[in-house]
Amino acid sequence: MIKLEDYKAPEFKIASVHLEFALDPEATIVTSTLKMVSDSSTLTLDGDELVLLSVELNGKPVDHVVTPTSLTLNVPFTPFTLVIKTQINPTANTALSGLYRSNGTYCTQCEAEGFRRITFFPDRPDVLTTYTVKITGKEPLLLSNGNQLEHGVWHDPHPKPSYLFALVAGDLGVVKDTFTTMSGRVVALEIYVEHGKEPLCAYAMDSLKRSMRWDETAFGREYDLDVFMIVAVSDFNMGAMENKGLNIFNDKYVLANPETATDADYANIEGIIAHEYFHNWTGNRITCRDWFQLSLKEGLTVFRDQEFSSDMRSRPVKRIEDVRLLKSAQFAEDAGPLSHPVRPRQYAEINNFYTATVYNKGAEVIRMMKVLIGEKAFADGLDLYFKRHDGQATTIELFVKCFEEVAERSLDIHSRWYEQAGTPLVRVSTEYEGGVLILHLEQVLREGHLPQSLPLRVGFLSPNGEELFEETITLDQFKGRFIFEDFKDEPILSLNRGFSAAVNIDYGRSDQTLAFLATHDSDDYNRRQAVETYALKVLTKGADAAPFIALYGKLIEESPRDPAFYAHALTLPSEEDIAREIGANINPDAIKQTRNTLVVALAKAHAERASALFHTLQTGAFSPDAASAGKRSLRIALLRLMVIEGFDASEIYMNADNLTERFGALACVVHHGNVATRDKLMADFQARFEDNANVFDKYLSLTGMKASVLEVKTMLQGAVFTKFNPNRYRALVGVFAMSNPTQFHTKAGYDFLCEELLRVDKINPQVSARVANAFRSYKSMEEPRKLAAHEALLALSKHELSNDLKDIITRMLA
Ligand code: TRP
Ligand code: ZN
């Protein structure tokens, strides 16, 4: 177990490192030359699955001790040169960490601890040095970080930690462009993809240029090298990686055209290109002292990419989407055995802390701080952070200190958001008399936790729906009383507008009030929240469905006003959302049935209205912009109601000129259509996209959402699965486990997944550990499901597992 309290600064410095790669598919030789000084007479370097060929100190062989995970030797107190030769096998590297091959292209993934799979090195983020790299091999393309000195020789002038190192070698096509920075420097932009896929890079390139400009105008951050490269590979454990000057991407977040990418894909590409680019300042120029500080770069960079997308698209709609993700991913994580603080204090395997808590809750903590101290202090604090810590590996504490200094106030209470796990619950009640409203708030946290600061934007509406005023109040004690005066009539409160505080709210509101807010609130976020809260009341507390169904009809009528917003308003809580609301003794079959009953009733009442609207909502020639995407998402929401009522969506599917509509129609049919149409369209989709892996994954995901264990097993036998690929695997098995609750939460489902985890763990531990997260809610299931899950996990834990999977299973069982 690695503990935060055990952190010690390194006792040595690396002035520079020179790396030579003699590439070979099965036996690549890596020669690392380190120029160092040390305050300690022993030096220990990290390693993982390396074959050590030689070690030389100041030109002579030297005694050393090598273990599977380390290399130790004695070193002088005077400056010295260490030359280490290792041999690695990129082809055998199916873990996709370190140097590996994807479709014949050599590439690297070093975060968090992959560099030690390339050479022995102090593989920790607080050891910064400058890299020169020489790559020899027969590949036409030989890339690394920084600027190219000659073919295959690279120098990166910016000191960096090892996790930001990257190398790519292969035969790839390229799309080139340029960007002129705010100070007038011309930067070469290059996106590398498999030959023939160049035309699919236009949107990624456009997103990159917009990201670069936006970081200048919104944050004053300019790019700092002569070239910025992106390489798309098809085998990748995560979304993408911010290696200095050489980002490497999962190709599903680069490649797009209207026939092969949905609007959601376009939005993801834009957001992830931006995210990785923004890391250049928040992550690379200023990096983490240790991995406990991961949210220093990830929370802040998610915050930045969310702001970027908000400026590029609709801010309220983006907020609705971000909060939906926060709740489904982070609140769910925080409610189960994998719950941890944004800044964890210990870990057994750092790979398992690239979580919704570190990323998304981390972004919320920054967003809340901005509300607390105001826009000006927030901007000044960030400027100070960039100025003070540029070139350093630093901590969350020192980040917060920058804002404390400019705001001239303590943020101690707010900082508890970093330390205390769990989602706060705010209990709300009001008293009204003679024009005075008293708002009582109480925050409920875990046993022993201290109050956090909860910034709540509160709107006040008159009974006829006028906006009276809005105020931001902060609850930073367990209990608070807030008094508001001079009302003519008792106002209606719109609490926590824009989800300003990342909390759950317990406020017993009548169905009428929720319907009122759903149609009158001036805050879009809360308007949709009211619909969701109301729906959950109907679905979990037996509230009368009839007035909700009527409200839904009203929303459909209003929907052309703001299609993107209403598409969200018309989306009912998912089965997982309902399960989270119920919290304990979950019966997924009952949830599915209850939800379905409401869905059918809504369709019966409104399909005709939906159909009339559907046909008037024309989208015109395809454009990926937010307004057009909004229209398409509304059309799909309406189509769903129509299909439930028996409409045959085959023609919509067949005639679609873009994947959003085609796939949207297919999904409606798969979830709600008749079997014959479903089979016909699924077969068509399969035939159409068999040769396009990223689109075919959508077919696999739809299958995973509906299929039985047996059907998933059968599909796993198919040709697409002969070679392991993380995207393929997550699309089928990951989706089955996370989004097919009635099939997964059965003894057969649990046993199947554990069997799979054991098998895949031998191939790729990061993927097995990630998919194992699907068990995170097992303790909230009803018996005998809970017991079956426990037994399956217990049996799995008896096997020899990777560090990654073992850590997840251990915490799950604790
Ligand atoms: N730093 C990457 C990001 O958020 C995340 C990442 C990419 C990653 N690949 C990884 C994390 C492999 C752990 C392991 O942008
Ligand atoms: Zn990131």
pLDDT tens-digit profile of 218-245?
999 999 999 999 999 999 999 999 999 9
User: Tell me, what's the pLDDT at 601?
Assistant: 98
pLDDT tier at 136 (50, 70, 90 boundaries)? very high
Spatial separation of the C-alpha atoms in residues 286 and 298, rounded to whole Å: 12
Atom of ligand 1 nearest to the CA of 97: 12
Which pair of tokens denotes residue 151? 């073919």
Please name the helix (run of DSSP H) or strand (run of DSSP E) that holds residue 641, with its range, or none.
helix 626-644
Closest CA to 250 of 725, 762, 658: 725
Ligand 1 close to Cβ of residue 112 (< 6 A): yes
Check pLDDT > 90 for residue 619.
no
Counting DSSP H helices and E strands in the chain, the numbers are: 29, 31
Residue whose CA is closest, atom 2 of ligand 1? Answer: 241
CA of 305 from ligand 2 middle (Å) equals: 10
For 256, 662, 663, 677, 698, the CA distances from 654, given in Å and listed in that order, are 20, 7, 10, 12, 17
Whole-angstrom distance, CA of residue 50 vs CA of residue 297:
29
- The closest residue, in CA terms, to atom 7 on ligand 1 is 241
C-beta of 240 in contact with ligand 1 (< 6 A): yes
User: Residue 89's CB: how many other CB atoms inside 10 A?
Assistant: 17
| pLDDT number for residue 620 | 86
Give the Å distance between the CA of 277 and the centre of ligand 2: 9
pLDDT, tens digit, 9 for 90 and up, residues 83-103: 999 999 999 999 999 999 999
Give the residues across from 470 on adjacent strands: 459
Centre of ligand 2 to C-alpha 291, Å, is 13
Q: Which ligand number lies closest to the CA of residue 804?
A: 1
Ranges assigned E (strand) in 161-296: 167-170, 173-180, 186-193, 227-233, 240-241, 246-250, 287-288
Ligand nearest 303 Cα, by number? 2
Average pLDDT over residues 791-811: 98
Peptide bond into 10 cis (omega under 30): no
Q: What is the pLDDT of residue 361?
A: 99
Render pLDDT for 28-75 as a digit per residue (tens, 0 to 9).
999 999 999 999 999 999 999 999 999 999 999 999 999 999 999 999
Query: Could you tell me which residues come within 8 angstroms of residue 650 by beta carbon, excluding any fewer than 6 positions away?
Result: 669, 677, 680, 681
Mean pLDDT value of segment 499-514: 98
Interval between CA 276 and ligand 2 midpoint (Å): 6
DSSP H or E segment with residue 755: helix 747-761
Tell me the per-residue pLDDT of 649-691, one tens digit each, with 9 for 90 and over.
Answer: 999 999 999 999 999 999 999 999 999 999 999 999 999 999 9
218 CB burial (10 A radius; 0-12, 13-18, 19+):
middle
Is 727 near ligand 1, meaning CB less than 6 Å away?
no
Atom 11 in ligand 1: which residue has the minimum CA distance?
A: 111
575 counts as catalytic: no
Whether pLDDT at 178 is above 90: yes
Strand duo 393-394 + 42-46: pairing: unpaired
Which of the listed residues 211, 241, 253, 768 should we mutate to test ligand 1's pocket, taking the one with most ligand atoms within 8 A of CB? 241
Of 620 and 406, the one with more pLDDT: 406
The strands making up 425-433's β-sheet, listed across from edge to edge, are 479-484, 436-444, 425-433, 504-506
329 DSSP assignment = I
On the question of pLDDT at 285 being above 90, the answer is yes
Does ligand 1 lie within 6 Å of residue 242's CB atom? yes
Residues in the chain: 814
User: Is residue 274 lining ligand 1, measured as CB closer than 6 Å?
Assistant: no
Q: Of all atoms in ligand 1, which is nearest to the CA of residue 351?
A: 13
User: What is the overall mean pLDDT for the chain?
Assistant: 98
The answer, yes or no, to whether any atom of ligand 1 lies below 6 A from the CB of 305, is: no
- Assess whether the C-beta atom of 110 lies below 6 angstroms from ligand 1: no
Q: Virtual CA dihedral for 619, 323, 704, 538, nearest 10 degrees?
A: -90
C-beta 214 within 6 A of ligand 1: no
Asked whether 351 lines ligand 1 (CB < 6 A), one says yes
Give the pLDDT of residue 348: 98
Beta strands at 65-67 and 28-38: parallel, antiparallel or unpaired: unpaired
The pLDDT score that the predictor gives to residue 76 is 98
Distance (Å) of CA 251 to CA 261, 272, 720: 12, 11, 17
* Per-residue pLDDT at 618: 86
State the amino acid at position 524 in one-letter form. Answer: D
Distance (angstroms) between ligand 1 centre and the Cα of 240 equals: 6
Pairing type for strands 42-46 and 51-57 reads: unpaired
| Dist. CA 62 → ligand 1 center (Å) | 36
CB neighbour burial string for 526-538, b if at least 16 within 10 angstroms, e if fewer:
bbbbbbbbbbbbb
In the reported structure, the alpha carbon of residue 571 is separated from the centroid of ligand 2 by a whole-number distance in angstroms of 29
Cα separation, 767 vs 622, in Å, equals 35
Single out the catalytic residue among 139, 276, 575, 756: 276
